[in-house]
Amino acid sequence: MAHRKAIFIDRGGVLHQEFPRGTTGKPRDLVFEKGALTALRKIDPDHFLVFLFDNADGVAFGHYSEAAYNRLTHRMLNAFRRRHIHVDGIYTCLQHPKGKGKYCGESVFRFPNIGLFKQAQQEHELNLESCWVIGDRTREVLAAQRAGCQTILVRTGMGGSDGEFYIEPDSIEANLLRAVQFIGQQELALTR
């Protein structure tokens, strides 16, 4: 029976700023949101698995290459190692219905579809109802709700201003650090 808990964190707009068009994967292109690394260190790895996710539209539309995206991911993981931050997995969808070349196509992993959460559930025996998803776009929150997860919309990145879908997240927080603190408060309330 699935019983494990996880926190899913969107990359672009929540953990770090969106990658600029034309990036080649240079260090200056990876800019973490204020307090984001502190937030990751506050998550208790004995209580929650941590997954990062991304619909990498920049790759799909040709704004930067998959290789540049991978270089920035590698830089991000190196920054985590230096700070003793553990992440259990990264889920990325490179497809978009209007993408270019091999990146053009539908995918169950593209939000607001729930394939990403279902894959993580199967791979890690997750209880999705006990999982949290932190995003800055309405499609991310909607996908999480469809999968049965608890949701937090943060005001960094798009901050929900995309207006793509009508959503009612469980909470709206200023940034990733405040979102992690909110989750901690909710978990503490469950033990009382």
Predicted pLDDT of residue 172: 98
Is beta strand 6-10 parallel, antiparallel or unpaired with respect to 49-55?
Answer: parallel
Look at residue 59 in the predicted model and tell me its pLDDT. 96
Mean pLDDT of the chain: 95
Is the separation of the CB atoms in 186 and 178 below 8 Å? no
Q: Which fold has domain 6-123+132-191?
A: Rossmann fold (3.40.50)
Which segments of the chain are extended strands (E)?
Answer: 6-10, 49-55, 89-93, 132-135, 150-154, 171-173
Distance, first Cα to last Cα, the chain? 25
Q: What does the chain come to in residues?
A: 192
Q: How far apart are CA 164 and CA 146, in angstroms?
A: 15
Q: Does the pTM of the predicted model rise above 0.85? A: yes
> Two tokens at 134?
């932190």
Contact 53, 89 (CB under 8 A): no
For the record, the structure tokens of 81 come out as: 């190692």
Report pLDDT for 37: 98
pLDDT tens track for 97-156: 999 999 999 999 999 999 999 999 999 999 999 999 999 999 999 999 999 999 999 999
Nearby residues of 115 by Cβ (< 8 Å), 6 or more positions away: 107, 108, 109
